Amino acid sequence: MLSRRGFIGSSALLAGAAVVSGRAQAASIPEAVSMESAAMQPPLAPAGGPNYQPVVTLNGWTLPWRMNGEWKEFHLVAEPVVREIAPGMKAHLWGYNGQSPGPTIEAVEGDKVRIFVTNRLPEHTTIHWHGMLLPCGMDGVGGLTQPHIKPGKTFVYEFLLKKSGTFMYHPHADEMVQMAMGMMGSFVVHPRDPKLHRVDRDFVFLLNAYDIDPGSYMPKVMTMLDFNLWTINSRAFPGIDHLVVRKGDRVRVRVGNLTMTNHPIHMHGYHFEVTCTDGGWVPAGARWPEVTIDIPVGAMRAYEFVADEPGDWALHCHKSHHTMNAMGHNVRTFIGVDNRDLVKAIRGVASRDYMPMGSTGMAEMGEMEMPMPDNTLPMMTGFAQFGAVEMGGMFTVVKVREGLGANDYKDPGWYQHPPGTVSYEVGAPAAGAPARRSQGPTSGQPAIEVNVVKPGAHGSHAKQH
């Protein structure tokens, strides 16, 4: 979990993104704080300096820092990590400080930051501070603006935070492999004026995607289009944190996209205003209302709303395949076909575990528990108070509630709808009992899925630091 031991002390002034070597200099480097849990951690309130509303990272955390004179110092460690995508599946990725994405870096406009980067990967790396205005030699493009950070070496980046906004960090060294393996993180810079752009709750997350074969643990880094796991902060529904909000709060949601396609992020129940882009804050008179905001590749957007309507409101990418999990490719469609005899024939020559998609659609999949390879998520999963949600991937819930504390982010459970406000069957009572989770197929329809291949033994998990 979080280790703060040694996160105090002094540091020599180091100029440039240069390698740190020698006993005296190495002793001055802050300890690398690490986190193994995939649970969202409480916001890291500022201990001094300008006041601001700290961000909350979905399924993540903010990297602690130490003050050394006028410098705010951080320490990132690039390393192999094991990330739980959702309960029942883990991936062997590369990331920072025990997780992928790495911890959120949070600071204030005008801060002078010094960021130490230690490389524990099997190959060289760098870090690019995506969207930052800084000296060219701190931009993090290997071979162009700096030497590569070789395995076992530590480099340091120093720059002044010239403007506030939402930014990202990721490698610019063997980028195709390293970003496909999960190397990325958020960088939030708050305004110097505590009253400027102030909100009550401030959420941040990154969109990323992986291609991991069912039953395996390692992403296929050569994939260009056919990803099968669309994630928020390397988590897929139902493993993604909910956005818990107090009624009446002004809420900001910051979204960065480091996948290979755009994502139209849609939130139910509200109209919101787009308040920030990669280029900075949108002036009040130029903000525009939306219910869906498209996040381009390599970009970020922030939107805000006032939480005046209680409920459990869906938030998701509106590309339908992006709210599905693994095993979605090459599944034959049998809608409208009585395929029971076909299933018998195929099982006679192939696998006894063969299961095609249902003849009436795929909704059954959300309620069924079927044999699957180890370390694999069903295509649709997750339950709420009325039954299967039939989603996966980039999907979560904004939970707006009355009576929460100012810094209370605990899951309040499912929304208790006022009587007469739930859609109901004609001729049935308006407030029926919620459906319960199915224990298996509930009709004579053939079961659904693709051919199940039992995996062999897997290698051990990557070591956590």
Q: Is residue 336 part of a domain?
A: no
d(CA 221, CA 434): 43
With a CB cutoff of 8 Å and minimum separation 6, the contacts of 130 are 167, 168, 169, 170, 187, 298
Which tens digit of pLDDT belongs to each residue from 32-61? 999 989 999 999 999 888 899 999 999 999
pLDDT at 460: 39
- What total of structural domains would you count in the chain? 1
Q: Is residue 42 part of a domain?
A: yes
Q: Is residue 31 part of a domain?
A: yes
pLDDT at 271: 97
CB distance 60 to 241 below 8 Å: no
pLDDT at 60: 97
d(CA 437, CA 306): 34
Phi first, then psi: what are they for 346, rounded to 5°? -65, -40
With a CB cutoff of 8 Å and minimum separation 6, the contacts of 7 are 30, 31, 33, 64, 66
Which tens digit of pLDDT belongs to each residue from 356-393? 555 554 545 545 555 667 888 877 677 898 988 888 89
3-class SS of residue 448? coil
The CATH number of the domain holding residue 117 is 2.60.40.420
> Does the pTM of the predicted model rise above 0.85?
no
Nearest to 114 by CA among 154, 77, 146, 157: 157
Q: Is residue 81 part of a domain?
A: yes
Q: Is residue 180 part of a domain?
A: yes
In the DSSP assignment, the letter for residue 447 is P
Q: Is residue 164 part of a domain?
A: yes
pLDDT at 293: 96
Helix or strand (DSSP H, E) at 24: helix 23-27
With a CB cutoff of 8 Å and minimum separation 6, the contacts of 283 are none
Low-confidence ranges of the chain (pLDDT < 50): 1, 3-15, 21-24, 328-329, 354, 361, 363, 366, 432-433, 435-465
d(CA 157, CA 304): 32
Q: Is residue 405 part of a domain?
A: no
Residues composing the chain:
465
d(CA 359, CA 217): 31
3-class SS of residue 15? coil
3-class SS of residue 77? strand
The pair of structure tokens assigned to 103 is: 């911890």
For 439-459, letters b (16+ CB in 10 Å) and e give eebeeeebbbbbebeeeeeee
**Residue 146 identity:** Q
Domain of residue 111: give its range.
18-198
d(CA 391, CA 265): 15
Strand pairing category for 395-401 and 243-246: parallel
Q: Is residue 182 part of a domain?
A: yes
